[in-house]
Amino acid sequence: MAADPAAWATVTVKVTPGSRKGPLVEVDPESGALTLIVRERAVDGKATAAAGELLAAHLGVRRGEVELVGGMTSRHKRFRVPAAAWAAVHADAVGPR
């Protein structure tokens, strides 16, 4: 990851593991909050890995550009993502992070 902190945004998402309707990204129209719905169960980090892959696909970046920075065992996770990609997809949700 680049050293320039302005190049990155920290994004908090809710992960719903073990869903039949996943993979799917839901965006709350009022708050802009993301829910990542994945088929993988919350066992051995599989749902977390799937959530990272889904977030990368949603933002149009490589998986290596999405880094988990908090919430490994929680349904609420924090990922560090390229700020430009986040701004392009969620322009109205970008603010100071």
The residue with tokens 């990204």 is 25
- Using one digit for the tens of pLDDT, what is the confidence trace for 41-75? 999 999 999 999 999 999 999 999 999 999 999 99
> What are the residue ranges spanned by the domains of the chain?
5-90
The CA distances from residue 65 to 20, 41, 43, 78, in Å, are 27, 23, 23, 14
- Can you count the helices (H) and strands (E) in the chain? 2, 5
Which amino acid would we find at residue 71?
G
Q: What does the block give as tokens for 25? A: 């990204």
Class of domain 5-90: alpha beta
d(CA 44, CA 28): 28
- Using one digit for the tens of pLDDT, what is the confidence trace for 14-26? 999 999 998 999 9
- The model's pTM is 0.86
